[in-house]
Amino acid sequence: MPRTKLVAGNWKMYTTRTAAESLARAVAAGVPASAAVEVAVCPPFPWLTTVANALQGSPVSLGAQDCANEKEGAFTGEVSPPMLLDAGCKYVILGHSERRHILGESDAQTNDKVHAALADGLHVILCMGETLAERQRGLKERVFQRQVFAATSGLSDEQFHRLVIAYEPIWAIGTGHTATPEQAQEAHAFIREKLTTLFGASIGQNVKILYGGSVKPDNAAGLMSQPDIDGALVGGASLKAETFLPIVQAAVAAG
């Protein structure tokens, strides 16, 4: 069965409540119910319910940008998977490079969060990717292997069905330097091969692998046409419907 494409917008720590609401309404209005791709938006925590309301009746899914690895407890400032489900989320982004590299999150912490989110019923967009130094030193495959293995060890087959991987080369995030379609395809094919070796052909073939890193309307079609690129995780260009919707349309056109 062909993998359906997914285009997810990561709004990071941007938008006011009013801006989030109008962006969500504009995205919802631009994605027809019959769209052959899935679209999700991931606003900051405080706007989740506002955006959930704005998306009602549309096919656009809601996601969060992180979660705790516990259901509840004395964890000041944390937000749990059941809370995200309660707020209307389907997805949660985990292991984003900004959390790994700015906030010091380890592979083990990411793995704990992946397990907690999947156990409670969320779908996870798990980010991974190499730094420029790792790429230049020829280490990117070793990094993918470590990140795939560390973040997915112990998942059941059913949980893999709710796991999406986002390959995000760190040197391409927010920099305007996107990977070429060929560079991205090579990385996606390697990650898929690792999944197949570690977890079997069915998981290797069925897990969606999104590309993320300066995806824009003018480079989306080239990326989406690659056989192992199953959509995009979009940062900067997801903050305006005028730049996000053409990326969705590129995914629709690529089928």
Residue ranges in contact with ligand PEP by CB under 6 A: 10, 168, 173-174, 212-215, 233-237
How many other C-beta atoms are found inside a 10 Å radius of the C-beta of residue 245? 20
**What is the Cα–Cα distance from 211 to 233, expressed in whole angstroms?**
6
The residue among 160 and 171 lying less far from ligand PEP, judged by its C-beta, is: 171
The residue among 169 and 203 lying less far from ligand PEP, judged by its C-beta, is: 169
Q: How far is the CB of 113 from ligand PEP (least distance, A)?
A: 16
Active-site residue (options: 38, 96, 98, 123): 96
E strand intervals along the chain: 6-10, 38-42, 61-64, 91-94, 123-128, 163-167, 208-212, 231-234
The residue among 43 and 213 lying less far from ligand PEP, judged by its C-beta, is: 213
Indicate the residue type of 124. V
DSSP single-letter state for residue 8: E
Q: How far is the CB of 85 from ligand PEP (least distance, A)?
A: 22
Asked whether the beta carbons of 96 and 68 are under 8 A apart, the reply is no
Residue 168 annotated to the active site: yes
Q: How far is the CB of 177 from ligand PEP (least distance, A)?
A: 9
Q: How far is the CB of 214 from ligand PEP (least distance, A)?
A: 4
> Shortest Cβ contact with ligand PEP: which residue?
235
Active-site residue (options: 98, 105, 130, 168): 168
The residue among 12 and 115 lying less far from ligand PEP, judged by its C-beta, is: 12
Torsion sign across C-alpha atoms 52, 54, 56, 62:
negative
- Neighbour-count burial of 136, counting CB atoms closer than 10 A to its CB (0-12 exposed, 13-18 middle, 19+ buried): exposed
Q: Please list the active-site residues.
A: 96, 168
